[in-house]
Amino acid sequence: MNALLESLEPKSIWSYFLKLSEIPRGSKVEAAAAAWVADQAKALGCDVERDEVGNVIIRKKASPGREGHPTTCLQAHVDMVCEKNEETVHDFAKDPIKVRRVGDELWATGTTLGADNGIGVAAALAVLASKDIAHGPIEALITIDEETGLTGANGLQPGRLKSKFLLNLDSEEEGFLTIGCAGGEDTIVTRKLTRSAVPAGQRAFRLKVFGLKGGHSGIDIHAGRGNAIRILAQVLGAMKPTFDFGLAAIKGGNKRNAIPREASAYILLDPAQEQAFREALGAHEAHWRAALGAHDPGLHLALEAGEATQLMSGADADALIRLLLALPHGVEAMSPDINGLVQTSTNMGVIDTRENEVEVNLLTRSSINASRTALSERIAATCALGGFESHVTGGYPGWKPEPKASLVQIVQDANQKTFGKPLEIMAIHAGLECGLIGEKYAAMEMVSFGPSMWDVHTPDEHVSVPSVGNFWKLLVAVLEAV
């Protein structure tokens, strides 16, 4: 770790990031990491409090002579998406992230890196630790559980913050200034299953879809990447008329805000049909590889030995496969106002089969509340037609762009002065905490920016080391300009 730090600049950010990477901080189990952040701030002499839901709120006095300047809030979330490929041996509950440098990039080893949003947390701590930035009063809001429900931002109480400006440090592309985002809501779909014993003479197999890129269900939803759950359903639906297999379970995806990379069906098959089944599977793999093309070239289908003690009824199996084929996934509509911006989408992110029930989780996003509601209602109607129950949960608002806000111009001027060019103004299809915070602090002006990172929410997540340096330069310039 020390050797790695020696090769990284600015050390103020990277030192905090590498230390944070040693602390398990999956969503909803990030308490130790939040406590560590609070301890670092206390050691720096800052005022620190924890609110009712566990957010860390930190205050640092202004530099001498700048006490009358507006207060600025640095905002980031401490939790991370915990994703790994099946073959990776890693326990997110106790193992540190194994960080490595590849050229000008930082990667983890077989897992998500946690640069989303560990870099933002590290940058906030680096500002608190700095003695040579001329800044006004600083607040830092480090939230919990952003990735699985925005619990921290949702639980933040009005009146806790005093800032005029908020800098959200959770963006993922250098050169862009984000001033708006989509809102979202989850749909949970369930069905009770009728079970029976496995028929004599049948063998259990695991039909596996793997090798896909996955990705962030907001940022990457338009990129043409395969959804492992949908592909598995397509294969099962196409094979069922030819092969008399039974279905015991389907499992796939890990997070409702990550495009599923892997999915498996546990099936019961007559051993006499195994060879023909494998040959047909090979044809389906070739078909889907061609369909995905360069968007997602790593697709594989495999049949391996499995375990199953009970079989779901034929009616349940048919209904489940049809539902997975009918539920929406991907882009529903593009924005008519902002070129290239996804307006409405759904990610069919997770399916899990328990003993007597199957559950499917979907995340629907839109910058238009009416469009989001309409798509969720269509999902509910599709579920009802198939004999499934559904309910919507976890809704959060979008963040309306305010391109003429004074903070936008302050950041633009700082970037022009620092790098000799303006930032590109954008809104994103992903969810940011600014929407929820803005509901409670209507007068607070907000922007979001950050360094370049790629493939977040996947084991291929990586961040540009030089871009983090530029991010730091811009952050310092903005604080000195406020």
Question: What residue type is assigned to position 386 of the chain?
Answer: G
First-last CA distance in the chain: 35
Long-range contacts at 281-288 (CB < 8 A, ≥ 24 apart): 281/207, 281/235, 281/239, 284/234, 284/235, 284/238, 284/239, 288/226, 288/231, 288/234, 288/235
Compute, in degrees rounded to 10, the torsion defined by CA atoms 452, 480, 399, 124.
60
Q: List helix spans (H) across 65-192.
A: 115-129, 151-155
Encode burial over 432-465: b for 16+ CB neighbours within 10 A, e otherwise: bbbbbbbeebeebbbbbbbbbbbbbbbbbbbbbb
Give the active site residue among 30, 139, 145, 146.
146
- Cβ atoms of 39 and 159 closer than 8 Å: no
CA atoms of 211 and 209, how far apart (whole Å): 7
CA atoms of 441 and 121, how far apart (whole Å): 21
Q: Establish whether 389 is a catalytic residue.
A: no
Give the active site residue among 79, 170, 262, 460.
79
- Cβ atoms of 420 and 197 closer than 8 Å: no
Q: Establish whether 86 is a catalytic residue.
A: no
State the burial class of residue 124 (Cβ atoms within 10 Å of its Cβ: 0-12, 13-18, 19+).
buried
Q: Look at residues 4, 79, 17 and name the one whose alpha carbon lies nearest to residue 472.
A: 17
Beta strands (DSSP E) in 285-400 are: 300-305, 310-312, 330-334, 342-353, 357-366, 389-396
CA atoms of 307 and 375, how far apart (whole Å): 37
Active site residues: 79, 146
